[in-house]
Amino acid sequence: MKKLIVLASAVLFFACGEDQSLEIGQKTSMKVEKVFEAGTVMKGEVINAKFKVTNTGEYPLIIGEVTPSCSCTVAEEPEEPIQPGESGEIIAQVKTDNLSAKNIQKMITVMANTEPNVTVLEIRGKIR
């Protein structure tokens, strides 16, 4: 029985090697430009915003949830974890056809394995 435990431990130890496997509690950091300036758009135009996200930490960056502030905005996060030193994109679209205000200010809340774990992105613009 003792030999079996030692053998299983050795297999687990060597199997983990250089693998960047994910573990609960691993925090990393990211760099992202938090404001997207859309400029002036015509009413009815769709704003396509891209936020480049770079993992500046030591562990894979996992973006768990991306939540827009209203129904006129749709956002999607990268499907796979972003490895240390690599980049990905958060893509958002704002439909302006039903907006009544002249100034656009839409927020996107990003939850990730960073410290702090919530980052707020903003899309700004004006409707002509």
Q: Give this prediction's pTM.
A: 0.79
Please say if the pLDDT value at position 80 is more than 90.
yes
Closest CA to 36 of 113, 117, 116, 104: 104
Average of per-residue pLDDT across 14-33? 70
pLDDT at position 23 is: 67
Q: In the structure, what pLDDT confidence band is assigned to residue 24 with cuts at 50, 70 and 90?
A: confident
For tokens 């490895």, the residue is 83
Q: In the structure, what pLDDT confidence band is assigned to residue 25 with cuts at 50, 70 and 90?
A: confident
Q: What is the mean pLDDT of the chain?
A: 86
Q: Which amino acid is at 108?
A: I
Domains (ranges, CATH) in the chain? 22-127 (2.60.40.10)
Q: Which amino acid is at 4?
A: L
